[in-house]
Structure 1
Amino acid sequence: MRRRGIAIIGLGLAVRPHALSLTDLSASADVLYAVSQSQARCQAFAAEYPFPTTTDIDAVLADARVEAVILLTPPSTHRDLGTRILESGRHLLVEKPVGLVTADAEALQALAKARQRKLGVVFQHRFRPAFMRLAELVAEGGLGPLAAGQCLVPWWRPQSYYDEPGRGTLARDGGGVLLTQAIHTLDLLRALVGSVEIHSSLVSTTAMHRMETEDHVAALATFGARAPGMILATTACFPGFSESIDLVFARGTARLEGGMLSLHRHDGSTETVGQEQAFGSGADPMAFAHDAHRALIADFLQAIDEDRAPVVCGEDIVATRRLIDAMLTRTISKGKAP
């Protein structure tokens, strides 16, 4: 793998695991620019990481040495900046949720395909060993057909989190708990079971938060061909607990919780993969290790070298966004909870 010229655009809350990962991947990634509109953020970033900073995005996109861009700006900027990046001939790795609405993600996916550029999405949970092992077992078919399942995201965010200007609004974030927190777990669920059909949902903003968008969603669904399923996602569950996916198969039950897989087969055998660790379920959304980000970025760079799609690509974000749209529109109740 040859060393690629990289630019990071956006030096806000999400940048830390990317910067640490790129430091680890210095043999294959040469970070030429770290970009922010804020000079203060550039200075703060430069004090912590060994990458050149700038506020001049035009100069970055004019530099032929830049081959790929990691876009970490707010969702409201993804479509415009992502379009500029792809039209300039760069490959693009973009932080979730990729735009304010699903059409933004669809547009970037189509543009990347037309320009023959790689479009990757920061769904780093796909690179956790526990998920990878469960995906392998499901693909092998040894657990038998899926019989039932549930997906739970019982997270917590204090009101101070939503008091930041724009956070939890349609104008900046595009949505609430589904789009900005549960999207990772929903992507894992979809990758494991294939299709997810939403039948009905309850969408609410609880009394725990003052915010424009939803902080609590519960839905009834079908996983795969005909397995009954349930999904719950919230940021109103103090102090915050690990997200989990339980899948009941004909020959065993798998529980994916945080970074651990627990498998119980009907023949009495068990299997455990991964380890318990923090994943940002509580008040600090960045309280997690960066190893999964490192693996995701390494795969993105390798995809460029091998001229293949990244493990998590444009098709994945579009499919997961459409699942979220279904949860928000197929509602039997929507509004402020008492």
Structure 2
Amino acid sequence: MTATIGVAIIGLGPASLPHSKSLIDLQDQAQVRWAVSRTAERAEDYGARFPFRTTTDMEAALADEGVAAVIVLTPPSSHLDVSALCLERGKHVLVEKPLELTSERGAALAQAARRAGRTLGVVLQHRFRPASLRLKAALDAGELGAVEAASLAVPWWRPQAYYDEPGRGTFARDGGGVLLTQAIHSLDLFRSLVGVSRVVAAQARTTGLHRMETEDYVSALLETGDGAPATLMTTTAAYPGHPERIEIIGRKGHASLVGGRLELAFLDGRRETVEAEGATGSGANIMDFPHDAHRAVIADFLEAIRTGREPVVTGEEALASQQLVDEILDVAGFRRPGRG
């Protein structure tokens, strides 16, 4: 039998829902010893929905010797401080995306985990969807042949009410707009599939559909890791929101990944489909997606702790995707604090 790993959850906002559902499914692998919130009201509300012990005392949770790992679900601006404290107390850490507000702070978090000798995983769950895994395997095995071109589109929607919530769409809380907060999942998956070696050109703006500080539209011309042309378009202004799409043109076939549904069409006439497991949160309901991929992220993280291997998405992997966000916005000339 696999020994269960003691876990604490820190941060009980909306992001805690898929994680908590996943941990219920993974009770044979993980024991949630604490669920921590800054406010008693949120802790009480959470405790009415999930069978986990709640507290507002983070120090008490970290002092519990039965807690070996912490899932950090606080706002991005606190990821480094909260995670570094957990690491100092000898805990392994799984942190929500993005790694931090800036790549510099993200790098500091990754370095802190290395110094502490503890596992750091990052929640970029699109890599764990069945369709994503099949596409990755097809590319790695050369089934599609050399990549000749690729594209990524994230035509999502968020209403103004979303950005009217305190801190939403600000640099101080979120660190960035559509690229870092919404499209980072798809961008990370795209980078893991075909690589990105260069940002050729880019545009970024805040459209008239939103009142916000950060960007809600970005387009770019890219080159893949092998130098093939690629395009990117991401937005939260495409009402009512549509599934993200990755297209890959190979010498032996074509791949179309729309949300969680994959279609492979090979030049020899073979076809293959991996059906989607549910919605993707592309519209006004940001939690409109199944928790299967989150469960897979947590299971991978727990196995990494047990076996001593790296998780699929390490701090360095997440940092590489965040640095790509920086490069795209820098080429676009989108002004951000500390970057001109």
- Is 1:143 the equivalent of 2:139? no
Tell me the secondary structure at the aligned position of residue 100 of structure 1. Answer: coil
Shift of 1:210: 0.2
**CA pair 213-333 structure 1, distance change in 2 beyond 3 A:** closer
Residue 231 of structure 2: aligned partner: 230
Query: CA shift at 1:132, angstroms?
Result: 0.2
Q: Structure 2: how far apart are the matches of 1:237 and 1:179?
A: 17
Asked if structure 1 preserves the Cα contact closer than 8 Å seen for 2:277 and 2:290, the reply is no
Which 5+ residue runs of structure 1 have no aligned equivalent? none
Distance 2:297 2:127 in 1: 8
Q: 1:57 to 1:334 in 2, by over 3 A?
A: closer
**What is the distance in 1 between the residues matched to 2:321 and 2:154?**
16
Kept in 2, the 8 Å contact 1:202–1:334? The answer is no
Q: Does residue 284 of the first structure (1) align with residue 285 of the second (2)?
A: yes
1:211 aligns with 2:216: no
1:255 is aligned to 2:256: yes
Q: Is the 8 Å Cα contact of residues 196 and 222 (structure 2) preserved in structure 1?
A: no
Cα drift, residue 225 of structure 1: 1.6
TM-score by length of 2: 0.97
What's the offset of the Cα at 1:77? 0.5
* Corresponding residue for residue 80 of structure 2: 79
Q: 1:168 matched to which residue of 2?
A: 169
Matched length: 335
2:320 matches 1:319:
yes
1:51 is matched with 52
Write the deviation string for residues 185-239 of structure 1: whole angstroms up to 9, x where unpaired: 0000000012342111111000000000000000011012211110000000000
Q: Secondary structure at the match of 1:311?
A: coil
Question: 1:154·1:234 contact (CA, 8 Å) conserved in 2?
Answer: yes
Cα separation, 2, equivalents of 1:248 and 1:135: 14
Question: C-alpha displacement at 1:105, in angstroms?
Answer: 1.4
Given that 1:156 and 1:240 are in contact with CA atoms closer than 8 Å, whether structure 2 keeps it comes out as yes
Matched, 1:268 2:269: yes
Instruction: Answer yes or no: is 1:39 the counterpart of 2:40.
Output: yes
Q: Name the residue aligned to 1:304.
A: 305
Instruction: State the 1:276 CA deviation.
Output: 5.9
Residue pairs, 1:184-203, within 5 angstroms: 184-203=185-204
Per-residue deviation, 1:333: 7.1
Which 5+ residue runs of structure 2 have no aligned equivalent? none
Aligned partner of 1:71: which letter? V
Partner Cα separation in structure 1 for residue 79 and residue 333 of structure 2: 31
Moved over 2 A (4+): 274-277, 332-335
User: C-alpha offsets along residues 86-119 of structure 1, whole Å, 9 cap, x if unaligned?
Assistant: 1111000000002110111111111111111000
Provide the alpha-carbon RMSD of the alignment: 1.2
Question: What is the alpha-carbon distance in structure 2 between the residues aligned to residue 43 and residue 98 of structure 1?
Answer: 28
The percent identity for this pair of structures is: 52
- In structure 2, give the amino acid aligned to 1:58: E
Residue 98 of structure 1 is matched in structure 2 by 99
Residue 175 of structure 2 aligns to which amino acid in structure 1?
G
For residues 189 and 196 of structure 1, do their structure 2 counterparts lie closer, same or farther at Cα, with a shift above 3 Å needed?
Answer: farther
Distance 1:183 1:142 in 2: 27
Q: Deviations over 1:236-273 (max 9, x none)?
A: 00000000100100111101110111011111111101
- Looking at structure 2, the residues matched to 98 and 221 of structure 1 have their Cα atoms a distance apart, in angstroms, of 23
TM-score, scaled relative to structure 1: 0.97
Counterpart of 2:50 in structure 1: which amino acid? Y
State the alpha-carbon separation in 2 of the partners of residues 55 and 86 from structure 1.
Answer: 19
How far off is 1:130 after superposition? 0.3
Displacement, 1:75? 0.4
